[in-house]
Structure 1
Amino acid sequence: MTESNESPSPQRGEEMPDWEKRFRAPRVSLPDWAEDAPHRSLFVSNATGTYELYAWDRATGRQRQVTNRANGTTDGVLSPDGEWIWWFDDTDGDEFGIWRRQAFTLDASRTGSGADEPAAPGLEPSYPAGLALGRDGRTAVVGRSTDQDGSTIHLVRTGQDPVEIYRHPESAGVGDFSHDGLLIAVEHTEHGDAMHSALRVLRPDGSTVAELDDTRGGTVELGLEVLGFAPVDGDTRLLIGHQRRGRWEPLVWDVTSGEETDLELELPGDVAAEWYPDGSALLVVHGFEARSELFRYDLATRELLRVPTPPGTLSGATARPDGTVEYLWSSAAEPPVVRSTSGEVVLDPPGMRCPGSVPVEDVWVEGPDGRIHALVQRPAGSSGPLPTVFDIHGGPTWHDSDSFAAGPAAWVDHGYAVVRVNYRGSTGYGRAWTDALRHRVGLIELEDIAAVREWAVSSGLADPERIVLTGGSWGGYLTLLGLGVQPTAWTIGIAAVPVADYVTAYHDEMESLKALDRTLLGGTPEEVPERFEASSPLTYVDAVKAPVYISAGVNDPRCPIRQVENYVDRLAARDAVHEVYRYDAGHGSLVVEERLKQVRLELDFAARHLGTASGEVRGATTVA
C-alpha cells in the first residue's frame, strides 16, 4: 500500500497546462436575485481559490465576498427584501451545522466576511432540509434532519423562539413559502419511499391546508416536487412537478380549491419550470438526451414559445422582472458563462480565461434493458485504440450531459478517451429508467457500463489493456464494486469519496441517505442482509485484481471514512496494489488547490500503472 500525500506539479517558471487553467480560472454561478429588490444578487465564485458566496449590487456594480472559510461555502440564500444573506455553517465539510446570516450591505469599509449572527437562535445543529425566507424580512421556514429527531420543520421569527410545525421519522424538507407568508409547502416521504415525495401544504401554525400524494401509499412509484408558489399576494397556486406520464412535467395546483391545471407540454424529455415574476407565465426548462433548452409558457393563452439558447446544457435559468431571462450555459467544448436573452454576458469574472476542450460525441448502445446513452470525448485528431477512462457519474439519480467539466477535459489533455455512461438509475430518460436499479443496486448499473465497455473495445475506441474505471460518490461506489464484480474488465480503478462497505456506510451516514438506502434495497441491513451483501464492494474485495486508488474526505457524512478504512484494510491484508489519499474535508473539496492535488494524484497513478506518462500534452489538443 502507498499513502499518497504529495503529487507532481509544474516546476517554477513552467507554463501552466490548460488542464490546470480549467480548474483555476474564476467561475461564477447563476446569480440569485431578491424578489423585492432585484438589483441585489447573491452568487458563488472560486475567485479567491475557494468557492465562497458573494453579494452583488447591480445598480452600482459593486461586489463583496460574504463568506471566508477554510473549506469554502456554497449554501446561501438571499432574503426577498434583499437585506439579509443566510448561509449554512458546518464544520470542515461535514454538512452538520446551523444557519447564520449577515446584512447585505456593500459598505466600502467592509472587506472579506461581514459580521455574522445565528439566523435561527434556539435551533440545535443539524443537517439542512430546506429553507424558505419570508418577504417581511423577519420570518423563515427552516428544515432540519438529525439521527435522533428524523425530519423537523420550524417557523422562525426574529426575536421569538422557533416553533416546530412538522415532525416525522422519514425524510422531509421545506418546499416553499407563499408570497404572502400564509402557506408553507412541504415535500415528505412518510410512506417510506425516499425516491418519491408526496406534498403537504401547511399554515404557519402547522395545520394542514391540502395534501397531494401520487405514491398511493407507496404502491405506485410516482413522485412529486415543489417548484414554487405563484409570486403574487393572495395567490394560492403552487407550481409542482409530477411523474404521471413516466417523466417529470409541471402542473399548477391551486391548494385552496384543489384544482389541477396540467400543462401537457409536447416535449419528449423531462420538463421543469419556474414562475415569471408577475405570475402570468412559466419559464420552462426542457432536458432531453443530455442537453437542455428554454421556453416561455403563457398560462392564459397556453402558448409555448422557445427562448433562444445555444446548443448545450443549462445549469440554471431565471426570468427577471424586465422580462429577460438569465441562464448559466456551457457545452463540453465551451466553458460556462452567465448569459441573458438581452444578448449580454451577465457576470464575467476577471482574471485567467478558462480554456475550452473537445466536443462530446453521442453514442447509443443496446443494453440489457434498452438503449444506453453514452457521451464520448477523445483527443483531437486521435485514432484508436486509446487508453480510455470510464468516468462514472454520482447520484445515482443524476446524469452526465453536454456540459463543461474540467475533470474529463484533463484526461483528454493527457491522451485518454473519456466515456461517460447514463446507466439505469440516471435521470433524464424517464421514470422507469431512473427507478430500475432497486434491490439489485450497483449490479444493474454495472451491466449497462459493461455493455458500453464492450462497444468501446469492439468499435476500436478503447485499448482493452488500458481502461480506467473511475468516479466520485456513487461513481466511486460503482468503481469499487466494478473492480470486484468485473475484475478482468478494468486495468485500474480510481474511486473518490466512495461507498466501499455498504453496511457500515449505512450505519454511519446522514439520516436522509439511510432513508434512500432503505428505499433502494428494500430495508435495513438487518432486514435484507443478502441485498446489502450483494451490493457491497467489500463483498468482492478479494476478487479485485486491478491496482486501486482511493481518495476520501475524513469528515464525509455521505460516504463516511470508517467504511472506506474497512475496505482498505481488506486490500492491505492481501497485499493488493492500492494507494489511499485522505484529506481534511467532507464529500469532496471546494478548495481549488486541493482539487488540483487530487487530480494530479489520479493522473500520476494512471500514468504509472498504464505507462501513459508520455501521452501527456500541455495544450488543448492532444495526441495518443
Structure 2
Amino acid sequence: MDQNAMPDWEKRFRAPRVSLPEWAEDAPDRSLFVSNATGTFELYAWDRTTGAQRQVTDRPNGTTNGTLTPDGQWVWWFSDTDGDEFGVWMRQPFAGGEDEPVATLPASYPAGLAIGRDGTVVVGRSTDEDGSTVHVVRPGGGEPVEIYRHSESAGIGDLSRDGSLLVIEHTEHGDAMHSALRVVNPDGSTVAELDDSEGGTKDLGLSVLGFAPVDGDPRLLVGHQRRGRWEPMVWDPLSGTTKELDLELPGDVLAEWYPDAGALLIVHSFQARDELWRYDLETGERTRIETPPGSVMGATARPDGTVEFLWSSAALPPQVRSTSGATVLDPPGMKAPGSVPVEDAWVEGPGGKIHALVQKPQGEGPFPTVFEVHGGPTHHDTDSFAGQPAAWVDHGFAVVRVNYRGSTGYGREWTDALKHRVGLIELEDVEAVREWAVGSGLSNPDRLVLAGGSWGGYLTLLGLGTQPETWALGLAAVPVADYVTAYHDEMEALKSMDRTLLGGTPEEVPERFEASSPLTYVDKVRAPVYISAGVNDPRCPIRQVENYVERLEQRGHPHEVYRYDAGHGSLVVEERIKQVRLEIDFALRHLPGAAQAPGAAQG
C-alpha cells in the first residue's frame, strides 16, 4: 500500500521499531536487539565500533528470546515451533555463520539461561512430565548434568561473574505468586536460602535482579516486598547478610547494577509512569536521571557512565535514548504517527481507588468506548505507546484501560487481592470504572465494548456472561474460555499459577473453577462475540476456546472466530494488522451508530 494512502493506525504497526540493545559484559561494543524491520520481529547483532547491523534470525513466526555470551562472540537464541514456546537453545557466531544446538537436551519450555565466562552453560527447563529442571553443561561440551528438579515452577536467576555461584528462583512452597531464592554451587549443593514467604505462609515474594558484575563479589541484588511494594536490597549469600535500601520513593522500585558495582540504576514506577535515578551504595546519595514524562520500558548503565533507556508515552512512539543526549538506535524507514495523550482517572471501587487511563477522540462525548483490559494478570497498563488503543481512537472511540485489583504497580496488597474469586474481582473494578465513565459523560452506555487479550481476553468473555446487560460487544484475543480444560492443557508453570490463584486444582476446588470460568455463563451472553486464537498457543490452548465456541454455535449466538497459525499472539506485523482490522471491522458492523473518524475506515 502507498504510504500516503495508509491510515495512521496501520503506520503505527508497520513503522520499524527496536528494543533496548543488550550489550556483552566483556565486549560492550557488541549488542543485540529486536526489530520488526523486515515485517517480523527478529534478533539483530550490532557492532557499535563499525556501525554494522546484521539480522541473526529469520523464521516465519519471528524470534525475540536471545542473549549474548559475556565475550560477545556468540548469539544464543531460543528456537520453538510455530510460536508454541517449546523448543531448544541454538547459537550463532556474532559475525554470522551457521546455527548450532548448544546442549543435548530434549525440547522444553525455557526457564532461564546463564552463560559463564569459562564457557559453562546453565539451562533451565520446564515440561509437563519433569516439572522444573536445571542442567549444567561444562566447557568443551559433554552431557548436561541435572543439578535441580522440582514439580513446582522454578528458573535460573543469574550466575555470578566468576561462575562460582548460581541463584535459582523457585516456588517449591506452592505459591507461584511469591518466589523464594536458593543460591547453589555449580554442582547443585546449597550455599544459602532466602525465603520471605516463610514456606508459603506469608504473601511475600523475592525476585533476582543480578549478581554484582565484578570479580570476587558475591553480592546479589534482590527485589523484595517487605514494605508492601517492590524494592531492592543487597544480599550476601556467603555471609548471610542483607541490606535493605529505603529510597523513600512511592510505588515500585527496581534496580540493576552499574558496571563497577558501586551504584545502582533505579527504575521507579508510580501511577503508570516511570523515572530513573542513580543510587550510590557507599554514600546513599540519590541523583535523578532526567527522562520525559511517560514510561521507561528498559534501562541499562554503560561502562562509560552513560545510561541508555527505551522510552515512550501514549502520545509519542518509542525511542532508544542515552543520557549523553544521543539517540542510540533510530530505525530506518517510516516513522510511527503519534496519538493522543492519556488522562488519569481515579475511581472509588469496592477494594479501594482504581486507576484508569483514558484516551479520547476529537469531539464531544459521550463516545462509543472500548474498555481494553490488560493481560497478565500481574501486569499493568502504563502511559506508553500502544498501537491498538490508538487505532480505536482513530476510529472515533474513547479507550479506557483499567488497572484492576491484581495489577502490579500499586502495592503488594492490590496485586495479591486477586485470589479465589478470580476474574470476578477484576470485573468489579471494571464495573466501577464503567459507571464513572458513563456518569461523567465520557461513554455512551449503549455502545460499550469489552476487549482484551490473554487474561484480558479471559475477562472479556467472563464479563460478557456475568454482566450481560452492560456490554454491547465483546472482543477476546487468545482468551481463557473454559477454565477447567485450559488448566489441563496449559503449560506447567501456568498450572502452578492457577493453583495459587484458585487455591487448588479443578478436582480440589471445582466450585471456584466453575465460578471463574467463562464457559459457566456462556448461555447468558447477549452481545456479539469476536474471538481470535492461536492454534499453537501453550498458554490459552485452542481446545478450551473451541469448547466455548461450540456452545455459542449451539445457541445460534452471533459470533465470529479467527484462528491463526501461531502461539500466544503473533510476531508478524501483517498478521497483527490483520487481527486489529478484523476487530475494528467487527465492531463497526455490530455496534450501530458507532462514531468513526473521517477516513478511518481505510484498509
What TM-score range do you get, normalising by the shorter chain? over 0.9
Superposed CA offset, 1:231-254 (max 9, x none): 011101000000000000000001
> Deviation of residue 617 (structure 1)?
3.5
Superposed CA offset, 1:28-62 (max 9, x none): 00000000000000000000000000000000000
| Mapped pair 1:118 → 2:121 | no
- CA contact 2:368–2:595 (8 Å) conserved in 1: no
SS in 2 for 1:615: coil
> Deviation of residue 616 (structure 1)?
3.7
Q: How does 1:40-59 map to 2 (within 5 A)?
A: 40-59=30-49
| Mapped pair 1:326 → 2:328 | no
> Deviation of residue 613 (structure 1)?
6.6
> Deviation of residue 425 (structure 1)?
0.2
The residue number in structure 2 matching 1:74 is 64
Superposed CA offset, 1:94-146 (max 9, x none): 0000000000015xxxxxxx4100011x211000001111122x211110000
Distance (Å, rounded) in 1 between the aligned partners of 2:249 and 2:4: 50
- CA contact 1:362–1:374 (8 Å) conserved in 2: yes
Superposed CA offset, 1:154-212 (max 9, x none): 11223211111111000000000000000001100000000000000000011000000
Q: How does 1:92-171 map to 2 (within 5 A)?
A: 92-105=82-95, 114-120=97-103, 122-136=104-118, 138-157=119-138, 158-171=140-153
| Mapped pair 1:200 → 2:169 | no
Superposed CA offset, 1:279-321 (max 9, x none): 1000000000000000000001011111111110000000000
> Deviation of residue 383 (structure 1)?
1.1
Runs of at least 5 residues in structure 1 that lack an aligned partner in the other structure: 1-9, 107-113
Distance (Å, rounded) in 2 between the aligned partners of 1:148 and 1:83: 35
- Among 405, 420, 427, the residue aligned to 1:439: 420
> Deviation of residue 449 (structure 1)?
0.1
Distance (Å, rounded) in 2 between the aligned partners of 1:617 and 1:270: 41
Q: TM-score, normalised by structure 2?
A: 0.98
The residue number in structure 2 matching 1:450 is 431
| Mapped pair 1:238 → 2:228 | no
> Deviation of residue 618 (structure 1)?
4.2
- Among 555, 558, 564, the residue aligned to 1:583: 564
- CA contact 1:361–1:376 (8 Å) conserved in 2: yes
Amino acid at match of 2:166: I
Q: How does 1:351-430 map to 2 (within 5 A)?
A: 351-380=333-362, 382-430=363-411
SS in 2 for 1:222: coil
Distance (Å, rounded) in 1 between the aligned partners of 2:513 and 2:594: 39
SS in 2 for 1:518: helix
Distance (Å, rounded) in 2 between the aligned partners of 1:18 and 1:425: 33
Runs of at least 5 residues in structure 2 that lack an aligned partner in the other structure: none
- CA contact 1:72–1:591 (8 Å) conserved in 2: yes
Distance (Å, rounded) in 2 between the aligned partners of 1:18 and 1:141: 45
Distance (Å, rounded) in 1 between the aligned partners of 2:554 and 2:460: 20
The residue number in structure 1 matching 2:10 is 20
Amino acid at match of 1:242: H
- CA contact 1:606–1:612 (8 Å) conserved in 2: no
Superposed CA offset, 1:375-406 (max 9, x none): 000013x2100000000000000000000000
The residue number in structure 2 matching 1:89 is 79
Distance (Å, rounded) in 2 between the aligned partners of 1:148 and 1:617: 55
Amino acid at match of 1:275: W
> Deviation of residue 14 (structure 1)?
7.2
Distance (Å, rounded) in 1 between the aligned partners of 2:216 and 2:136: 20
The residue number in structure 2 matching 1:109 is none
- Among 469, 487, 507, the residue aligned to 2:468: 487
SS in 1 for 2:260: coil
Distance (Å, rounded) in 1 between the aligned partners of 2:179 and 2:238: 20
- CA contact 2:270–2:410 (8 Å) conserved in 1: yes
SS in 2 for 1:571: helix
Superposed CA offset, 1:432-461 (max 9, x none): 000001000000000000000000000000
Divergent runs of 4+, >4 A = none
Distance (Å, rounded) in 2 between the aligned partners of 1:248 and 1:360: 25
Distance (Å, rounded) in 1 between the aligned partners of 2:300 and 2:454: 29
Amino acid at match of 1:421: V
- Among 197, 205, 211, the residue aligned to 1:215: 197
- CA contact 1:25–1:352 (8 Å) conserved in 2: yes
Q: Percent identity?
A: 77
- CA contact 1:413–1:618 (8 Å) conserved in 2: no
- Among 62, 65, 69, the residue aligned to 2:55: 65
- CA contact 1:312–1:330 (8 Å) conserved in 2: yes
Amino acid at match of 1:67: T
The residue number in structure 1 matching 2:21 is 31
Distance (Å, rounded) in 2 between the aligned partners of 1:614 and 1:259: 61
Superposed CA offset, 1:543-599 (max 9, x none): 000000000000000000000000000000010010000000000000000000000
> Deviation of residue 619 (structure 1)?
7.4
SS in 1 for 2:188: coil
SS in 1 for 2:5: coil
Amino acid at match of 1:603: I
Q: Which structure exhibits the higher relative contact order, with contacts defined as CA atoms closer than 8 Å and separated by 6 or more residues?
A: 1
> Deviation of residue 611 (structure 1)?
3.0
Distance (Å, rounded) in 1 between the aligned partners of 2:114 and 2:415: 28
- 239 and 614 in structure 1: CA distance in 2 versus 1, 3 angstrom threshold: closer
SS in 2 for 1:478: helix
Amino acid at match of 1:523: G
Superposed CA offset, 1:253-290 (max 9, x none): 01100111111110001000000001100000000000
SS in 1 for 2:377: coil
- CA contact 2:367–2:595 (8 Å) conserved in 1: no
- Among 443, 464, 469, the residue aligned to 1:462: 443
- CA contact 1:411–1:418 (8 Å) conserved in 2: yes
The residue number in structure 2 matching 1:285 is 267
SS in 2 for 1:160: coil
Distance (Å, rounded) in 1 between the aligned partners of 2:262 and 2:142: 36
